[in-house]
């Protein structure tokens, strides 16, 4: 008898999600907790596991569809024919039921355990596919071959890798994983992209008449394969408007969330931006003298932990910068905690994970926490709760390049600090001498409904004071 599979709760305040990809098809046999599909919520992606072991007899959703929490996403015929309401009978291998239930009754001996996920059985890497005729010298041994998948329909790759492969136009079915248990890594996908780019260059290189005939066939084949990959990497679906060809793409859940949040901020917050520079020459000397000690502990010491600590300390002295405005109830809410959001530019869009209770942390703790947070964001290993609870936001434009900007306040917060790329500049010193100094550009945008210009200037000056004399951070109260 088939049992309905319903979309479980995805977190507080989340009532729906978009289906990014289905990992199984009707008729597939799955194990308990095997991933069925990947969903996208506001700014995070989640994998929906199978609550039971058994055979998928029906899928009620498709990629691109919006699914409500609690709705039926499919049906499964559980192993052993368990009834839908009680906890499903587990296969013979030791595996406890998920739902509250009485102990599992004795299972008939002939019951065959459900097949294990393909990632456990790692096939040997396929031999490089080499054409009989001589191949161009510059092309490396193929990482991806045009062969059928050897994983029986289950590709050993996590949700983040699957999404990345879709965006760059790589078919994971032919990629050989180099990770643990044969799992496909980001580097494996990048190797395929690099191979395609190099093959394209070889195919387009001018050749002499003598060599043209001998290399025409492999070059054409390589060009055809690469063109298929690279064309699919372009976003959107081909279409036409009144003026020519266009590409149309449905807005992702994260892009819709960003758009709504930016519109909310732009239409409700009268913002002002203050620009200034911090002389971080001494900070750089201080950081350089300590970074090896941190590296020995596996921590990368950048200027960001110092900036975060400076902001957290200044926020304690300027409570109106660490607050929110409740116009509906005509009140101001001052935060006694300091949770700093770090704006991160990801391949999916802008994500702002939150480093919580920063006011209680020292530089080593912040550096460690920032490293862990960055790793989880890069691997898409974070939940919705990691994006909530912020009281102030820092955006690091310098990591990409650029100096000043006018960042949009991340409502309901009342301020955001953007840091640009530190650059060497000639500076007139107090004794009128001119010296090269490392200058960090800062752009502070704030909600003028609550924050006045004088308050913002004093707040930014305090941050600059900490950055220009980093030893003050060790003594700050």
In 138-248, the DSSP E strands lie at 237-241, 244-248
Report the C-alpha gap between 306 and 280 in whole angstroms.
Answer: 10
DSSP states of 84-129: SSSPPPPPSSS---SSS-PPPPPPPTTPPPPPPPGGGS-PPPPPP-
Q: Which residue has the tokens 């041994």?
A: 141
Report the C-alpha gap between 473 and 367 in whole angstroms.
Answer: 14
The bridge status of strand 415-419 relative to strand 392-396 is parallel
Report the C-alpha gap between 152 and 266 in whole angstroms.
Answer: 50
Q: Cβ atoms within 10 A of the Cβ of 221, count?
A: 15
Q: Is 318 a catalytic residue?
A: no
Q: Which two tokens stand for residue 136?
A: 């161009």
End-to-end CA distance of the chain: give it in Å, rounded. Answer: 66
Report the C-alpha gap between 320 and 471 in whole angstroms.
Answer: 26
Q: Cβ atoms within 10 A of the Cβ of 437, count?
A: 19
Who contacts 120 (Cβ-Cβ below 8 Å, separation ≥6)?
Answer: 181
Report the C-alpha gap between 173 and 152 in whole angstroms.
Answer: 10
Report the C-alpha gap between 312 and 324 in whole angstroms.
Answer: 16
Q: Which of 250, 200, 341, 279 is nearest to 467 (CA)?
A: 279
Q: Which of 131, 153, 134, 152 is nearest to 142 (CA)?
A: 131
Who contacts 184 (Cβ-Cβ below 8 Å, separation ≥6)?
Answer: 155, 156, 157, 161, 165, 172, 175, 176, 177, 178
In 402-454, the DSSP E strands lie at 415-419, 423-428, 434-447
The catalytic site residues sit at 448
């Amino acid at each position: 008898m088939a049992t309905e599979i319903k979309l479980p709760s995805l977190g507080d305040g989340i009532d729906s999600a978009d289906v990014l990809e289905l990992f199984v098809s009707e008729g597939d046999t799955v194990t308990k907790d095997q991933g069925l599909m990947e969903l996208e919520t506001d700014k995070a992606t989640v994998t929906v596991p199978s609550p039971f072991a058994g055979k998928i007899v029906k899928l009620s959703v498709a990629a691109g569809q919006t699914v409500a929490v609690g709705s039926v996403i499919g049906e499964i015929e559980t192993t052993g024919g368990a009834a839908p309401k009680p906890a499903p009978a587990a296969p013979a291998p030791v595996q406890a039921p998920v739902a509250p239930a009485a102990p599992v009754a004795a299972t008939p001996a002939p019951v065959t355990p459900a097949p294990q996920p393909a990632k456990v059985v790692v096939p040997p890497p396929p031999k490089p596919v080499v054409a009989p005729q001589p191949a161009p010298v510059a092309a490396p041994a193929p990482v991806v071959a045009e062969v059928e998948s050897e994983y029986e329909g289950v590709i050993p790759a996590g949700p983040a890798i699957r999404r990345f492969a879709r965006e760059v136009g790589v078919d994971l079915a032919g990629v050989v994983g180099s990770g643990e248990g044969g799992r496909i890594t980001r580097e494996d996908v990048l190797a395929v992209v690099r191979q395609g780019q190099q093959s394209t260059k070889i195919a387009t290189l001018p050749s002499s008449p003598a060599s043209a005939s001998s290399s025409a066939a492999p070059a054409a084949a390589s060009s055809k394969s690469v063109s298929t990959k690279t064309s699919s990497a372009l976003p959107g679906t081909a279409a036409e408007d009144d003026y020519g060809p266009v590409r149309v793409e449905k807005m992702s859940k994260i892009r819709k969330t960003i758009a709504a949040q930016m519109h909310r901020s732009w239409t409700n917050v009268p913002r002002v931006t203050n620009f200034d520079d911090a002389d971080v020459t001494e900070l750089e000397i201080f950081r350089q003298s300590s970074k090896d000690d941190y590296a020995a502990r596996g921590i990368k010491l950048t200027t960001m932990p110092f900036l975060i600590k400076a902001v957290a300390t200044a926020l304690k002295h300027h409570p109106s910068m660490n607050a929110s405005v409740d116009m509906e109830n005509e009140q101001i809410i001052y935060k006694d905690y300091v949770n700093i959001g770090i704006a991160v530019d990801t391949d999916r869009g802008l994500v702002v994970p939150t480093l919580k209770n920063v006011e209680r942390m020292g530089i080593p703790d912040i550096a460690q926490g920032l490293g862990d947070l960055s790793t989880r964001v890069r691997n898409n290993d974070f939940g919705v709760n990691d994006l909530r609870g912020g009281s102030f936001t820092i955006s690091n434009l310098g990591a990409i390049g650029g100096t000043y900007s006018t960042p949009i306040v991340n409502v309901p917060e009342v301020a955001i600090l953007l840091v640009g790329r530190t650059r060497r500049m000639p500076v007139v010193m107090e004794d009128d001498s001119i010296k090269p100094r490392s200058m960090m550009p800062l752009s502070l945008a704030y909600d003028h409904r609550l924050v006045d210009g004088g308050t913002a200037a004093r707040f930014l000056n305090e941050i600059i004071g900490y950055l220009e004399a980093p030893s003050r951070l060790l003594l700050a109260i």
